[in-house]
A and B are shown apart, each in its own frame.
Chain A
């Protein structure tokens, strides 16, 4: 048990400090750690939890307390939440103080411009990995069995979300009910 809590702490405190560009950028690494390294759950289960967390209100990355809870109950919930929120919060508070001092320094712009491709690449990787496990029944990156009905839902969600201003929550509700028909699965 202690071992699991230490693992949760190490994984989420590291991810907390690596989440440049917001929580969505660390989903691939979280999936790698939780599914491939620790083998706490299958890729499908991870993707399902991620989707549930996205459907819930509040900030991004509510998947973190869900993982902690599943792996080690209430203690896991506490450890995963604190280790994912605390390090980045401390950095933020310190950074705000430094920020006031270097307000018009030129490296601000350079860092921002240099981080954009990082964020885009990582969020695209999140999308690709989530899509891969959401359209397949194979576990742990093993056999890949394409479920074309689910692949269509992925494509539909991309088109609707980029072409219309429909609220993301509705996109998820529609996807869930299309999935419930079981067509192409």
Chain B
């Protein structure tokens, strides 16, 4: 759910405050805090921290880096934390930002996994988890619908998306060969024929 770009919240600090170059410690602590509080999509919170509260980068540069992280492989927000850390403190900064970001959530999910194992034989708890899973599945479908919005009226894009869906969800083909074939075809056709 990292697709949401902007939470529309008002700036927390005045945007004319001068930019501040974060230390390794500030990168670690900043992302550690985000990892603890970012429920259901961390991107708006990263933006608020890096652009508005801490003034590490300005809004334009943030958008530019985000655009890049979205076309790169890997989690968008994970990539963003690495890129920001690297920009200010090199490899140590990148490691600090990434570790800070995943430390707390890792412990939380391990604890949740333990709770799941412990109570899964209890019928009521099993039903609770079943409902949770169903809602998470519905949310994923809603994300697909939301990001499909810009494809309306673009038949070529819709056909390519449908081909991917069929290959992965229906035929259950492995992802690597599917991407090696379909991604260049997709980029080529969109370039030649238009979206």
How would you classify the secondary structure of chain B's contact residues: helix, strand, loop or mixed?
helix
Interface size on B, residues (CB 8 A): 96
Does A62 sit within 8 A of B, measured CB to CB?
Answer: yes
CB-CB contacts below 8 Å: B88-123 with A? 94, 98, 101-102, 104-106, 108-110, 112-113, 116, 120, 123
Q: Are A60 and B2 in contact (CB under 8 A)?
A: yes
CB-CB contacts below 8 Å: A43-102 with B? 44, 47-63, 65-66, 69-70, 77, 81, 85, 87-89, 91-93, 95-96, 99
Supposing A114-B187, A153-B135, A185-B130 touch, asked if A26 and B102 sit within 8 A by C-beta, the answer is no
CA distance A68 to B112 in the complex (A): 14
Q: Are B165 and A175 in contact (CB under 8 A)?
A: no
How would you classify the secondary structure of chain A's contact residues: helix, strand, loop or mixed?
helix
CB-CB contacts below 8 Å: B115-157 with A? 116, 120, 123-125, 127-148, 150-151, 156-157
- Option from A23, A27, A57, A135 in Cβ contact (under 8 Å) with B105: A57
Supposing A20-B179, A60-B75, A115-B71 touch, asked if A168 and B40 sit within 8 A by C-beta, the answer is yes
Does A34 sit within 8 A of B, measured CB to CB?
Answer: no
Most central of B39, B73, B78, B141 by chain A CB within 10 Å = B73
Q: Are A59 and B141 in contact (CB under 8 A)?
A: no
CB-CB contacts below 8 Å: B54-108 with A? 65, 67-79, 82-83, 86-87, 94, 98, 101-102, 104-106, 108
Number of interchain pairs (Cβ within 8 Å): 374
CB-CB contacts below 8 Å: B145-175 with A? 145-148, 150-151, 156-158, 160-165, 168-169, 172, 174-175
Q: Give B contacts to A, CB under 8 Å.
A: 1-3, 34-42, 65, 67-79, 82-83, 86-87, 94, 98, 101-102, 104-106, 108-110, 112-113, 116, 120, 123-125, 127-148, 150-151, 156-158, 160-165, 168-169, 172, 174-176, 179, 182-183, 186-191, 195
